[in-house]
Structure 1
Amino acid sequence: MISAQMLIMRAMAGWLVLRFGVLGPLHIQKGEEQVTVRAAKQRTVLALLLIHRGGTVPTERLISELWDHDPPVSARGTLQSLVSRLRRSLGEDRATDGRLLVGNASGYAFALPDDASLDLQEFDQAVAGIRARSAAGPAADLADDLADDVDRALDLWRGAAFADVPASPRIVVERTRLEEARLALWETRADLRLARRLNDEVIAENTALLADHPLRERLWEQLMLALYRSGRRHEALTVYGDAERLLTAELGIGPGEGLRRLHGQVLAGSVPPAAPEPRAPRLSASPAQLPPAIPDFTGREEELARALTVLGRAPAGGSAPTVAVSGMAGVGKTTFALQVAHRLRGNFPDGQIYVDLWSGESRPQAQSPDEVVLRFLRAIGMTGRDVPSDPDERVAVYRSALANRRILIVIDNATDEAQVEPLLPGGPTCAVLVTSRKPLSGLSGARHIVLDVLSAGQALDLIASVVGPDRLAREPATAAELVDLCGRHPLSLRICSSRLAARPHWTIGTLTKRLLDERLRIDELEYGRKSVRASFTLSYEALEARARRLFCLLSLVEAEDFAAWVAAPLLDTTVREGEHHLEVLVENQLVQVAGRDGAGQTRYRLHDLIHLYSGDLAERHIPVSERRDAVARLLGAWLTLTDRAHETSYGANFLLNHGTFPRWPLAPAYVGQLLADPWAWWESEHRSLVAMVAQAARACLDEAAWDLAVTSTTLFGTYGYLGDWQTTHETAFAATVRSGNRRGEAIVMSHLAGLRIYQQRHTDALDLLAPAADTLARLGERRAEALCYVAMGIAERGRRDRRRALSHFHRGHELLRDRGDALAEAHVLLHTGQTHLALGDLMAAERSLRSARSIARSVDGGPLEGYIDHWLGSAHLGRHDAAAAAEAFSRAVTRVSSIGDARAEAMALQGLAHAHLQSGERDTAEHVLSLAGAAAQRIPDSATATRTLSGIGRLLADLRA
């Protein structure tokens, strides 16, 4: 037997023919010898290299394909081993001249010898030739010439493409493309046979094809036509019925226009005979206008597959396949579109025409569609005398010229749908790929692909493809930091990669340090003709004045995301107008939609780099005083909403003392709608509240900082956001101390003490409350001083000094008496009654609690009534009035659960369980305790949840003992 090495050498010398096949199971033939590649991953590597036909496939891309973006640590070594074993399977070694598998610094390539053959290449060439000849005239004129070509192309197939090659992203894309092209050839063969009146052959083949491709309407149409022309009109109508039922069942829609039209013709007996149509005028040019695609394109596999599937399908239906690609500036729309277009060149043998609708100036130039149509007509070979002067006639001639041609039309950087619509072909033979920063949602029939920033892994792959994987491997943590600083923004990453590639003496850390300064980061993101600032500026300068101003002012919002109402105070306008300008920014990809929150609001955000760019513009174009006024209005709007949310929840201003910072008025109807569920709104906005307190403090707006912090206390306490409570109050406290704001300082201290009480750090709370009460007394702030004494009483009760607690409550009650603050008075009486209960004085406890409940009811005390009912229930338990206790605890559960206070709900359910136990209803008590346990598990603060669950557990254990 001749050795494999000798076979290869003879093949290289022309003695034996090497043949490779992927149109079916992977096939390798050396003369009479067949080579089998048994390992699945080796077959994948070989298939990927054959697809690229001599082009280098980067190592990282091969790894990504083999392990689906989740490679093992040893992936590079494993790939080298796979390549080595594949070489042995092919009979290669390092001593062989003219090696097939060629490795280089960036990856591997398959060097197909000149006298070798690859069925994939033969098929693509055959398809291109067939399409070119078909475009030259109607099928009837060329049927005899084309039939053999089509048969030979289809005979290349031995089964499904890459049948025994494991699926990988690129294999799936290529398999889909090839199968689509094969189907298109089958349809072409049927057309050719119909033109030559070979109806029986069409009936036989299309019937078999429809078993595997039942949604292919063109196959149904050809089968109907063949049956009708064979004198089998009834069967043709039956076929239409079958197609209609199947398409409706599978797709929810009936047959398309072509199939319906043929059905009508069959019914009327008016089907055109198989006769040649008039020859269309010939156009000589086959333009190839695509700019080059970048060789190190990275990521976007899912989006690529979608675009290739839509644009690469065979002509069908009445309109050209169209894909509209949108995304923010610098996200890689043009790069993506060119990658798609170059991969599809073989599908469009009559050429590819390209136009960039931006002229390269600093501002987009709305080129006339009429001018672009003229350029396109010249590109496809039409001379000046043949071009009409009337714009509408020119578009009609343009569409007529494209009617029988396979041309890919790439329209880059479209401003709006009006620029694109006149450039769309009239029929299905061409395809259109459009890019725009706007979504172009009004473009009829277009499939939309929105490009976002890259994933972290794709971003690292991009850097590695430019600077080399070894350089990246030396500084993995720093490379990850670079990705974060660039916000995974493709243009920024490519600029950074280019700068590193041009400066081999730089480490990645060198560039990362230069990007750390936010004031200079945008300026650093520039290299050659690439500039992030210039890219963003194109979008910015397309805006009208008010939208530009809003874009600049949004840089002042330091929250991670925000709701639409934020635009109103920034612009000092209505919510409706502010939201309109905000949506303009969204359409122009300068603001991103981050999702919807629990209150039903749409959340918006700025990409980190756009936020820096916006801030730079604000500093340049908006005076400091106007920026400060905008921040003040924004904080005033926040205070308006937090005030109203608190009042909606508690029925009044419950236990709060406010500052003098001016509120900014939002429309009452809008506020009422927004705060229909105040707790949902608060839950959605708590992170933004923390950010705004910090922003107010940094802006030296201490009055706003402390007022916003203390107004949010009820949110933090109810939902257990103890960290936010601590952070906002420490921030506000520092701001008031810096500015000498004694009143604000004392009130913030009292609310920090409330946090300490919540944490059961009662002595720490008293250390804060005593000086706060003294300061407030000197300032004449009687209400605030009274609330300090109430808090001191709660702290003393926590330390079990109940007599001292009562004295503090009495002092607080004296200060509140006759001030008309019913809720504060009810609050004092609640804690007085609770303390009497702890002392065992049931009569005094019930007297105080009933008074508290009566006052709270008179002003619709909301959740306060629930807290009072809880302790009334405890008093009834003390008197062994289980029925009254159960009623009170049930009322408490209803009240506190309505505001989402899981801690109070769990405690009230515990009390209700005690009441049922006191009545001898042990099963009911056990059920209620299980509900209490479920409520306790919803308590956000883990320490409080643990304590509550522990108490419930002990009670359950006693119950089951």
Structure 2
Amino acid sequence: MSVRAIGDMERGRSRVPQRRTVVALAEGLGLTDDEREALLTTARAARPTRAGEVAGAVVPPRLVGDFTGRAPELALLRDAAERSRVGGAVPVWVVSGLPGCGKTTLALKAAADLAEEFPDGCFVVDLHGVDGPVDTGEALLKLLRALGVSDRRLAQEDSHGRAGLLRALLGDRRCMVVLDNARDEGQVRELLPAGGRSLVLVTSRRPLSGLEDVGRLVLCELAQDEAVDLLRRILGTERADAEPEAVARVAELCGRLPLALRVAGNWLTVRSGWSVDHLVRRLVGEERRLGALAAGDVRVEAAFELSYRQLTGQAAQMLRLLSLVPGPDMTTAYGAALTSSGVFEAEDVMEELAEAGLLQAAFTGRYQLHDLLRLFARTRLTREEEPGDREAAERRLRTWLLETAAVAGRWYKTGYGAPPSSWQGLVPLENAEQARAWLRSEAPAWLAALRGAARHGEHTLVVETADAMEWYYPLSLYWGHWPEVFRLASEAAAALDDPRMQAVHLNHYSWALSTCEHRYRDAIERADEALECARRAQDVPQQAWALVYAVYPHRQLGETQKGFDKARAAADLFEAAAEHEGWIETIGLYGGTLRDFGRAEEALTQHERIIAFLDAPDCPVSGHAADSYRAAAMEALGRDYAALERWREAAEHYRAAVDQAHRIGIPHREAEALLHWGEALIELGETEEARFRLRQAVAFGDAAYGDHLKSAQELLESLPAE
């Protein structure tokens, strides 16, 4: 038995034991069969029928003394009660949410707090929606009897007449009714008033979206501080304050779900010799967390099980398979990929899960699976699906994520663009903006899929996915995972014994190390490895790229001459191979090293060559690549003019670079050009315009290079006050 059950008996809250308590007592006493039956009969006789759960004037004593949080929700219900005083307000509110989120507790707390507002009585009916639902007619009779209607009058009315009588009584009187744990709309529709000054709260795991003219309150897990506060109240402040970090960790491991938090608190209350950290260690293993969250007759898993049993076979399978989704949330396309179905068919099934309170639907069109429900679903997946079927579903999801990522990434890659007409995807990728949005929103999932493909030896899938990102990854420079992406790809290429592809991805890996993590020496080492692979493959363009990717880190390390020599060598190789994109990249770097040596006029000439090449009517480079190169060249020209102290021309080129970077969506380059534009404007004495541009640069925040952000802020602070 739980400590709370015993405590409720000691405090007189529970006056009659439940059947399972009596059975446990009989077994503990070792009673004979006759003695056991006599004890059960006595207990049964003293126990009220379910009609006793409806009591006038008072709320049944099932309140939780340590109720915590939910201030906005209680305020909303308090406001609803006040507005119902004069009639005309919404008389019914549906409180819905996933199992264990505290719907009943909230409704009973509201009823207790607001009891004085309803002088004609507060009534509670447990409809047992997921475990032997109460018939609507039975609930109707209970409420009418509680409202004082005589049996003779009830006998004179049929079911429709009784429903009308209830509506009339609730319309005339000032009552609060809690219809707890409703199964569906049909169970409660005849129990609801059409108007008047009464207030009805309906709790359900389903949103009961078929009910009209009702208010809706959707509960989810507690905020972290509220979850910690609940544990503190259960454990006592002295014990909780002794291990505050462990208490916070328990709250996280319980998914901040009130039922789970209460079970965890009960564990620690019963086992006073346990430290909170000991419970953390028991909960941290996912495979046994749900089993650990059980105290006496209160089990988190049992709450989920009741809803799970009500699902159709399709929905139950969908719930199990959704536990395989690696990201924090999902769209209907995930369900379609996992079940090999269409998007609309998957949406219907996922909506059934949302209706059952097992999946949370957001206004954004995405769905979330609570952490503990994910564990529950994963346990059911292991028990109910064959290993081969689980692996096949994982493979379907992984393949869909990576193939879609590749198609989206190729929108920016030269020679690709729009997906081929034969491609039948589960998500729309009709333009570059949609592709970019998908790659960004699903990044956690497709990165996890890439890791999974690497673990399963799906080397070709890994290589092709990373290769598609060649021109996308500069657009999301600060994502933070590009070094890992290209490390996995270079390892996959090595496993395929493809030295050319290994060179490609080592080159990208070098760039990511240099640009994203500023690990310049490591970047040079990876570029040197790429050079060796490219020579083995006899691939001249990749040899040149390996030289190119070493130039920037050499310059950052102050090794300007090495950078200059590699840039010149790369330019010669690209020109010999007629590799146009590489030639543009290299000429830009070569010009930069000339500027480093104080040869700004020569640098200017090189960067003007790039613009002339891009402006040529027969330019072989087009699309996003050409736009990106133009933005970089414009900024480089601005820096050349600045080095020559030709500030007006510098400012004009920085302005052009800002416009170009903004148009194609490269925030870090736009912020950098704004910084340099501000510097040029200061030199020109145009302080207010400079202030405006520097503020624009600072506004980019984390989307800008850290050094550029710091420089812009320092320049702003150095300007005279407005």
Tell me whether the two structures share a fold, i.e. TM-score over 0.5. yes
Tell whether 2:707 aligns with 1:938.
no
State whether residues 713 and 725 of structure 1, in contact with CA within 8 Å, keep that contact through their aligned partners in structure 2: no
Counterpart of 2:74 in structure 1 is: 304
| Pair 887,306 (structure 1): closer, same or farther in 2 beyond 3 Å | closer
Cα deviation 1:194-249 (Å, max 9, x = unaligned): xxxxxxxxxxxxxxxxxxxxxxxxxxxxxxxxxxxxxxxxxxxxxxxxxxxxxxxx
> Please, which runs of 5 or more residues in structure 2 have no aligned partner?
1-10, 13-53
State whether residues 310 and 322 of structure 1, in contact with CA within 8 Å, keep that contact through their aligned partners in structure 2: no
Tell whether 2:186 aligns with 1:418.
yes
Tell whether 2:560 aligns with 1:800.
yes
Equivalent of 1:373 in 134, 140, 148: 140
Equivalent of 1:339 in 106, 109, 122: 109
| Pair 385,603 (structure 1): closer, same or farther in 2 beyond 3 Å | closer
Between 417-426 and 461-470, report the one with greater CA deviation. Answer: 461-470
Equivalent of 1:868 in 633, 639, 650: 633
Equivalent of 1:753 in 510, 521, 535: 510
Equivalent of 1:721 in 478, 488, 500: 478
Counterpart of 2:661 in structure 1 is: 896
* SS of residue in 1 equivalent to 2:179: strand
Equivalent of 1:544 in 312, 324, 331: 312
Shift of 1:325: 1.5
Cα deviation 1:827-860 (Å, max 9, x = unaligned): 4554456567766646566445523553366556
Bigger-Rg structure (1/2): 1
State whether residues 287 and 353 of structure 1, in contact with CA within 8 Å, keep that contact through their aligned partners in structure 2: yes
State whether residues 853 and 865 of structure 1, in contact with CA within 8 Å, keep that contact through their aligned partners in structure 2: no
Cα deviation 1:115-136 (Å, max 9, x = unaligned): xxxxxxxxxxxxxxxxxxxxxx
* SS of residue in 1 equivalent to 2:429: helix
2-structure distance, mates of 1:958, 1:325: 56
| Pair 776,578 (structure 1): closer, same or farther in 2 beyond 3 Å | farther
| Pair 705,794 (structure 1): closer, same or farther in 2 beyond 3 Å | same
State whether residues 228 and 247 of structure 2, in contact with CA within 8 Å, keep that contact through their aligned partners in structure 1: yes
Cα deviation 1:263-290 (Å, max 9, x = unaligned): xxxxxxxxxxxxxxxxxxxxxx975795
Equivalent of 2:576 in 806, 814, 835: 814
Name the amino acid aligned to 2:199.
Answer: A
Name the amino acid aligned to 1:850.
Answer: A
Shift of 1:778: 3.3
| Pair 390,742 (structure 1): closer, same or farther in 2 beyond 3 Å | farther
1-structure distance, mates of 2:144, 2:76: 29
Equivalent of 2:433 in 676, 682, 685: 676
| Pair 875,322 (structure 1): closer, same or farther in 2 beyond 3 Å | closer
1-structure distance, mates of 2:692, 2:163: 74
Tell whether 2:613 aligns with 1:851.
yes
Shift of 1:486: 0.9
2-structure distance, mates of 1:953, 1:836: 28
* SS of residue in 2 equivalent to 1:334: helix
1-structure distance, mates of 2:279, 2:513: 46
Shift of 1:513: 2.0
1-structure distance, mates of 2:116, 2:606: 93
Q: What is the TM-score with the length of structure 2 in the denominator?
A: 0.76
Counterpart of 1:790 in structure 2 is: 548
Cα deviation 1:757-815 (Å, max 9, x = unaligned): 43665553332122223224435666655533432455566632323421123224434
Name the amino acid aligned to 1:514.
Answer: R
Tell whether 2:238 aligns with 1:475.
no
Counterpart of 1:666 in structure 2 is: 425
Shift of 1:532: 1.0
Shift of 1:905: 2.8
Percent identical pairs in the alignment equals 28
| Pair 412,730 (structure 1): closer, same or farther in 2 beyond 3 Å | same
Cα deviation 1:40-78 (Å, max 9, x = unaligned): xxxxxxxxxxxxxxx99xxxxxxxxxxxxxxxxxxxxxx
1-structure distance, mates of 2:172, 2:708: 78
| Pair 588,835 (structure 1): closer, same or farther in 2 beyond 3 Å | same
Tell whether 2:529 aligns with 1:767.
no
| Pair 956,387 (structure 1): closer, same or farther in 2 beyond 3 Å | closer
2-structure distance, mates of 1:923, 1:902: 27
| Pair 500,816 (structure 1): closer, same or farther in 2 beyond 3 Å | same
Question: Superposition pairs for residues 234-245 of structure 1, below 5 Å?
Answer: none
Equivalent of 1:606 in 356, 369, 374: 369
Equivalent of 1:521 in 284, 289, 306: 289
Q: What is the TM-score with the length of structure 1 in the denominator?
A: 0.59
2-structure distance, mates of 1:932, 1:522: 53
2-structure distance, mates of 1:859, 1:314: 62
State whether residues 493 and 501 of structure 2, in contact with CA within 8 Å, keep that contact through their aligned partners in structure 1: yes
Name the amino acid aligned to 2:613.
Answer: S
Question: Superposition pairs for residues 347-386 of structure 1, below 5 Å?
Answer: 351-358=121-128, 361=131, 367-379=134-146, 380-383=148-151, 386=154
Equivalent of 2:161 in 390, 393, 415: 393
State whether residues 786 and 816 of structure 1, in contact with CA within 8 Å, keep that contact through their aligned partners in structure 2: no
State whether residues 836 and 844 of structure 1, in contact with CA within 8 Å, keep that contact through their aligned partners in structure 2: no
Shift of 1:492: 0.8
Tell whether 2:53 aligns with 1:294.
no
Name the amino acid aligned to 1:724.
Answer: H
Shift of 1:753: 0.9
Shift of 1:610: 1.5
* SS of residue in 2 equivalent to 1:330: coil
2-structure distance, mates of 1:880, 1:508: 66
Counterpart of 2:34 in structure 1 is: none
| Pair 465,828 (structure 1): closer, same or farther in 2 beyond 3 Å | closer
CA RMSD of aligned residues (A): 4.4
Larger RCO: Structure 1 or Structure 2 (Cα < 8 Å, ≥ 6 residues apart)? 2
Counterpart of 2:267 in structure 1 is: 499
Shift of 1:719: 4.5
* SS of residue in 1 equivalent to 2:206: coil
State whether residues 130 and 183 of structure 2, in contact with CA within 8 Å, keep that contact through their aligned partners in structure 1: no
State whether residues 830 and 852 of structure 1, in contact with CA within 8 Å, keep that contact through their aligned partners in structure 2: no
Name the amino acid aligned to 2:125.
Answer: V
| Pair 756,526 (structure 1): closer, same or farther in 2 beyond 3 Å | closer
* SS of residue in 2 equivalent to 1:750: helix
Cα deviation 1:589-646 (Å, max 9, x = unaligned): 3233567xxxxx5444322211211221222233334433433443444444544544
Equivalent of 2:321 in 550, 553, 565: 553
| Pair 636,923 (structure 1): closer, same or farther in 2 beyond 3 Å | farther
Name the amino acid aligned to 1:369.
Answer: T
Cα deviation 1:322-380 (Å, max 9, x = unaligned): 2321221001112222233344555556555433322663xxx5654334324444554
1-structure distance, mates of 2:291, 2:593: 65
2-structure distance, mates of 1:954, 1:375: 75
Q: Report the count of equivalent residues.
A: 651
Question: Superposition pairs for residues 916-927 of structure 1, below 5 Å?
Answer: 922-923=684-685, 927=689
Counterpart of 2:387 in structure 1 is: 624
State whether residues 906 and 933 of structure 1, in contact with CA within 8 Å, keep that contact through their aligned partners in structure 2: no
Question: Superposition pairs for residues 92-131 of structure 1, below 5 Å?
Answer: none
Shift of 1:521: 0.4
1-structure distance, mates of 2:640, 2:170: 89
* SS of residue in 2 equivalent to 1:671: coil
State whether residues 531 and 547 of structure 2, in contact with CA within 8 Å, keep that contact through their aligned partners in structure 1: yes
| Pair 741,291 (structure 1): closer, same or farther in 2 beyond 3 Å | farther
| Pair 811,338 (structure 1): closer, same or farther in 2 beyond 3 Å | same
2-structure distance, mates of 1:925, 1:310: 56
Counterpart of 1:199 in structure 2 is: none
